[in-house]
Amino acid sequence: MKKIVWATVLLAFSAFADCSYQSDTAKVTWKAFKTYEKIGVGGSFDRVVVTSKSANSIEALLVGSNVKIDTSSINSGNPGRDATLVSSFFKTQNINTITAKILSLKDSKALTEITINNITKTIPLVYTVNEGKVSAKGSIDLGDFTMLPSLQSINKVCFDLHGGKTWQDVEIGFEIPTKSDCK
């Protein structure tokens, strides 16, 4: 009888050990603000590379995951706006990529190291896990990444469209669908 119990325990343990989570794709989102009424304009990036390891929990999958974003792949749903954002915002300071790495998770916050314009800041993002999808949201200040020349450039080009005001805070977020081989 003892042998059957131990065999069952070992079988259950080995099945758990084979359980892993993997990230296939990530969607990185943003929302910038224009006009004194602070109207949001958002979108995503089409070329995002996620580097993560297979892990036995979603938490282990996230911590240490890296994301590399090609800024020329910005997608606001308006090709004219996208071209302007590339040429008059990102190219103003030669910002071709944005990188991020999740450092730790605690109390529904993902401390995320973000590098823009060769400046790295740790930004807390509030995250949730729901039905195999991890979502996170937070905010950055363009001034923290010395991107005010880019902000001034886009404000000048879009002065009338923005009613003379482009805000320097930008909401950021990501969604990572995960797949599990758990049986």
The total domain count for the chain is: 1
Taking the alpha carbons at both ends of the chain, their separation in whole angstroms is 26
Residues above pLDDT 90, as percent of the chain: 69
Query: How much is the pLDDT for 127?
Result: 93
Mean pLDDT throughout 142-146? Answer: 98
In this prediction, residues 163-182 reach a mean pLDDT of 87
Of 21 and 86, more confident: 86
Residue 60 neighbours by CB under 8 Å, 6+ apart:
21
Question: Average pLDDT in the 31-42 region?
Answer: 97
Question: For residue 52, what are the domain limits?
Answer: 20-180
Rounded to an integer, the average pLDDT of 25-33 is 92
Residues in the chain: 183
Residue 14 has pLDDT above 90, yes or no: no
Is residue 2's pLDDT more than 60? no
CATH number of the domain bearing residue 83? 2.40.128.110
Check residue 26 and give its pLDDT: 82
In a domain, 159, yes or no: yes
Flag whether 4 is in a domain.
no
CA nearest 166: which of 144, 180, 147?
147
Residue 2 falls inside a structural domain: no
- Segment 111-139, tens digit of pLDDT: 999 999 999 999 999 999 888 788 999 99
